[in-house]
Structure 1
Amino acid sequence: MTHSRALALVAILLTSFPAAGGSVPAPAGQNTVWDRIMAEQSAVNLRRGYALMGAEDYSAAADEFFRAVQRSPSDPWARLLYGSALYWLGTPDKALEEFEEALRLDPRNPMALQLRGIVRARTGDYGPALADFLASEKLDPSRSDVKMNAGSVYHALGEFGRALDYFRAAVALDPANPLYRYQLGMFYSRLGRYEAAAAQLEKAVSLFSGYEDALLELALLRERDGDLPGAIKLYRKALALKPRDSVARFRLAWALHKAGRVSEVGKVLDGAFLLAPANPKGGISMGLAYAGPPPGGAEAPPPSPLYSSLKKIPAGQDARVTVELLETPKAALTPVAGGEKLGARLQSAFRKPKVSYTRREYFLPASSPAERERRAAAVAAEADKLMKAVSAGNDARLNFSVETGPPRSSAAAKAKALFKPRDVGNDMGLWVMGDNWLENAAEALEELEAEAGGGRELALIRGLGYLLLGEHALALNEFSGGGALAALGRSAAWVEAGAEAKALEECREALRLDPANKTAQANKAWLEGSK
């Protein structure tokens, strides 16, 4: 979970609410839960918990909120805050128990209904989740976030008309919220209403100039409209904000190539193959994409890449894990007589209405090695369960990313080097809609596969596209040429394939060809286990 999302939830909980049956009345002249917390000495644990949530120390926050529950077991707000901390800790089942208890204490509490709906929606239980959001809306129709949540569920259920109504209503209630503008713009884009989508995305960027996801989507719309100079300018802005966005690099490189600016492609691609760099907080950032359900039939299948990666993170480091699963109809992905390419097959699948997107986020606090291994196994098991639940008629693509904080002890440990398609963080937080990066990569790849020949630069761009979509074998074929960039591409592809020895070999080849290449130097250090 990101710092901004944690604060957003705490802010939701601590802003004004109507008086709720069963709640302790607020002192005269004080209208918000935060006023109560600040005024009542007995709520000292809630104040401490709030501060700890803001500092992203969810485990300690949960301890403080639990003490508050023990002191005031009949107060639904203490239950809601405790449940929220449990949710951020990656234990939604326990969080749900607290939200249920809050509703038992105060059946007409709109926030309890909303939080229960969020947990239900997280597990794909959309019908009951929608019922919770609509009940919350009835009790407090002024909340824009409830309308956005209800709209997201309607979207997931395929009820696009109702989804659009609710997204518009959320924007009307909170027109200065860039996330709502972005969500509405994304929805318009998926409906094919590109002019309306661009208007909302432009507004989102005007409200939050650092909104990289909105800039990237706006650049894609400009490119689709034939405005290559405008698209290139926006892609560059997105990369200036988030240099680790390899999807933005991929789209920029292809736009430059189409514009005849082939000499600029190499510089853009150089940063696309950096493995597991240090993040600004002193930890590491890692990720991996792979395609298809896990192979069956083996007596002792190998550990999942996610489990292997989480086990390698020192137990003394906090870790935040994001898992994304995109499920598409396999029928649209089978080769046709004419030899339809991967990008075209993916794009035709994305255009089908039965595309399913699932996102899960987890927080693994610093702990003992045994507890870390247990939590890693639980997270990996849930990701594997998502993959195994993919029907026989569908295909799946899974992407995971891991962010760690600085070690809480001085013990050093080797971190596994991984290729992460989009090391960009999460500016605003998205729940059901998710992001569009897989679809955006597939769209460009469809165009690239239609290009015959094209020379070294085009092969590098195509190779990066395959790499982003988890197709390391196809990527290796495109990176078969000479040059340091091709060697770096092969290194990243071998990392995706789990062959670190071969990846290190290609890194050394890149350094032989270009001894001053910083990406190759950094990748070699990670693959050798040094910093």
Structure 2
Amino acid sequence: MRLNNLGVSEARINGDFVAAGEYFKQALESQPGCFICRYNLGRSFIATNQYSDAHGIFERLVREDPKSAGALSSLGEVLSLLGDDPGAIPLLEKSLDLDPNDAITLNNYGISLHNTQNFKKALKAFDQAIAIQPNMAEAHNYRGITLYQLGKKKKALKSLRRADSLQPNVAEVKNNLGVVLEKLGKKKQALSHYLEAVKIRPNFGNAVFNLALIYIRIGKRDEAQKQLKSLEKFDALLARELRKVLWGKYVVDASAARFKN
């Protein structure tokens, strides 16, 4: 188990899941049937975005031990990451039947419920996760998104601000704050958050798109055009949508004005 433990230390202390994965693989060379080694290798695959490989591992682990809450939860998480939230939900529910106080599983359950537009159940799951682990930024973020979907913008803003205070350098949270603030009529604050989101992740398409839109709304055409040029480099679909908005605002509107004159 020494190699497995070295992998765990590498992941926890250094955050190096690639190196951790190599330790787990070495551990499995000497102990091919080691359940925890395979479990940890699967978790390292999730951390390094190797979802298909992780799926194969956790699917086998669940077959071997259908009552392993961790394996069930991880398989559900992987399915969600692969876009199969309807398939993830029953696995996460089985895991919660075995371990109802696992905050991470509750959070992942809430995410899958949110992704399938079951917003009220999702909100309950996020509330439960936060009650167990109050400083889970991801749960506060998704809680805010869910509240926004339910039309509760002020409560959404509070949750998103909590997420931002816990992890202040997450572009997704900054972008979400911008969306909610803009809907609440606070354009200057929204603009500030979009700018922060793009600064953290310059290739974050949604944030660049939202930043361009707010520039259009406040009459800063040149700034919006700059965001379009940026977007064209990494997201052709969003760039095309933004081009349509710019065309409608500055070309069609101008033509209409000339017609009236």
Is 1:140 the counterpart of 2:133 in the alignment?
yes
Match of 1:86 among 65, 79, 82: 79
Match of 2:229 among 224, 236, 239: 236
Match of 1:194 among 174, 187, 194: 187
Query: What's the offset of the Cα at 1:50?
Result: 4.6
Which secondary structure state, in structure 1, belongs to the residue aligned with residue 145 of structure 2? Answer: helix
Report what 1:113 is aligned to: 106
Within 5 A, what are the aligned runs for 1:411-430? Answer: none
Maintained 8 Å contact 2:198/2:207: yes
Report what 1:131 is aligned to: 124
Maintained 8 Å contact 1:76/1:105: yes
Within 5 A, what are the aligned runs for 1:371-382? Answer: none
Which secondary structure state, in structure 2, belongs to the residue aligned with residue 64 of structure 1? Answer: helix
Query: What's the offset of the Cα at 1:225?
Result: 2.0
Q: Hey, what's the Cα distance between the residues in 2 that align with 1:94 and 1:200?
A: 35
Which secondary structure state, in structure 1, belongs to the residue aligned with residue 138 of structure 2? Answer: helix
Report what 1:247 is aligned to: 241
Q: Hey, what's the Cα distance between the residues in 2 that align with 1:243 and 1:213?
A: 12
Match of 2:56 among 49, 63, 76: 63
The structure-2 alpha-carbon separation of the partners of 1:55 and 1:140, relative to structure 1 and needing over 3 Å to count, comes to closer
Q: Which structure has more strand as a fraction of its residues?
A: 1
Q: Hey, what's the Cα distance between the residues in 2 that align with 1:141 and 1:187?
A: 22
Query: What's the offset of the Cα at 1:452?
Result: 6.2
Q: Hey, what's the Cα distance between the residues in 1 that align with 2:120 and 2:79?
A: 23
Which secondary structure state, in structure 2, belongs to the residue aligned with residue 210 of structure 1? Answer: coil
The structure-2 alpha-carbon separation of the partners of 1:117 and 1:186, relative to structure 1 and needing over 3 Å to count, comes to same
Maintained 8 Å contact 1:43/1:68: no
Report what 2:206 is aligned to: 213
The structure-2 alpha-carbon separation of the partners of 1:116 and 1:234, relative to structure 1 and needing over 3 Å to count, comes to closer
Q: Hey, what's the Cα distance between the residues in 2 that align with 1:89 and 1:217?
A: 26
Maintained 8 Å contact 1:235/1:251: no
The structure-2 alpha-carbon separation of the partners of 1:197 and 1:89, relative to structure 1 and needing over 3 Å to count, comes to closer
Query: What's the offset of the Cα at 1:196?
Result: 0.5
Report what 2:151 is aligned to: 158
Q: Hey, what's the Cα distance between the residues in 1 that align with 2:185 and 2:104?
A: 34
Query: What's the offset of the Cα at 1:92?
Result: 3.1
Maintained 8 Å contact 1:184/1:197: yes
Q: How far does the alpha carbon of each residue in 1:422-442 deviate from its partner, in whole angstroms, 9 at most, with x for none?
A: xxxxxxxxxxxxxxxxxxxxx
**One-letter identity of the residue aligned with 2:38:** N
> What is the aligned-residue identity percentage?
22
Q: How far does the alpha carbon of each residue in 1:212-242 deviate from its partner, in whole angstroms, 9 at most, with x for none?
A: 3322222222222222233322322222343
Q: Which structure has more helix as a fraction of its residues?
A: 2
Q: Hey, what's the Cα distance between the residues in 2 that align with 1:153 and 1:100?
A: 19
Is 1:225 the counterpart of 2:253 in the alignment?
no
Q: Hey, what's the Cα distance between the residues in 1 that align with 2:114 and 2:236?
A: 33
Maintained 8 Å contact 1:239/1:248: no
Q: Hey, what's the Cα distance between the residues in 2 that align with 1:449 and 1:150?
A: 44
Query: What's the offset of the Cα at 1:48?
Result: 4.9
The structure-2 alpha-carbon separation of the partners of 1:223 and 1:143, relative to structure 1 and needing over 3 Å to count, comes to same
Q: How far does the alpha carbon of each residue in 1:271-306 deviate from its partner, in whole angstroms, 9 at most, with x for none?
A: xxxxxxxxxxxxxxxxxxxxxxxxxxxxxxxxxxxx
Q: Hey, what's the Cα distance between the residues in 2 that align with 1:55 and 1:160?
A: 32
Maintained 8 Å contact 1:45/1:67: no
Which secondary structure state, in structure 2, belongs to the residue aligned with residue 231 of structure 1? Answer: helix
**One-letter identity of the residue aligned with 2:242:** A
Q: Hey, what's the Cα distance between the residues in 1 that align with 2:127 and 2:58?
A: 28
Structure with higher Rg: it is 1
Q: Hey, what's the Cα distance between the residues in 1 that align with 2:86 and 2:124?
A: 19
Q: Hey, what's the Cα distance between the residues in 1 that align with 2:196 and 2:93?
A: 38
RMSD: 3.4
Q: How far does the alpha carbon of each residue in 1:166-202 deviate from its partner, in whole angstroms, 9 at most, with x for none?
A: 0111111111111110110111112221100000011
- Structure 2, unaligned runs of 5 or more: 29-33
Match of 2:68 among 55, 62, 75: 75
The structure-2 alpha-carbon separation of the partners of 1:63 and 1:184, relative to structure 1 and needing over 3 Å to count, comes to same
Count of matched residue pairs: 240
Q: Hey, what's the Cα distance between the residues in 1 that align with 2:108 and 2:71?
A: 14
Report what 2:90 is aligned to: 97
Superposition TM-score, scaled by structure 2 size:
0.77
Query: What's the offset of the Cα at 1:89?
Result: 4.6
Which secondary structure state, in structure 1, belongs to the residue aligned with residue 160 of structure 2? Answer: helix
**One-letter identity of the residue aligned with 2:117:** G
Query: What's the offset of the Cα at 1:64?
Result: 1.6
Q: Hey, what's the Cα distance between the residues in 1 that align with 2:235 and 2:74?
A: 33
- Structure 1, unaligned runs of 5 or more: 1-25, 259-444, 455-531
The structure-2 alpha-carbon separation of the partners of 1:156 and 1:243, relative to structure 1 and needing over 3 Å to count, comes to closer
Maintained 8 Å contact 1:116/1:129: yes
Superposition TM-score, scaled by structure 1 size:
0.40
Maintained 8 Å contact 1:236/1:252: no
Q: Hey, what's the Cα distance between the residues in 1 that align with 2:208 and 2:88?
A: 35
The structure-2 alpha-carbon separation of the partners of 1:449 and 1:163, relative to structure 1 and needing over 3 Å to count, comes to farther
